[in-house]
Amino acid sequence: MDTMNESVEPTVFVIFGGTGDLAWRKLIPALFNLQQTGCLPAKTAIIAIGTSEKDEESCASGFTRA
């Protein structure tokens, strides 16, 4: 698969319900795979908004599980 062109504008993903099960089982792993294969622009930000509080440590452990 071709990598993204360098002239692509910065991209922001906002995940509403970012602390929920769907985000951790499907969305975050899918975004990770897209980044690993070069399908996301270099300047990409992901913002997850949810009703549950997550500290930095629990987010990091969630990323390694996902």
Confidence at residue 40, expressed as pLDDT on a 0 to 100 scale: 92
Share of the chain above pLDDT 90, in %: 47
Tell me the average pLDDT of the chain: 82
Confidence at residue 65, expressed as pLDDT on a 0 to 100 scale: 62
Residue 9 has pLDDT above 70, yes or no: yes
Q: Where are the alpha helices (DSSP H) in the chain?
A: 21-22, 28-36, 56-65
Q: Which residue has the tokens 């987010």?
A: 59
Which tens digit of pLDDT belongs to each residue from 30-62? Answer: 999 999 999 999 899 999 888 877 776 776 666
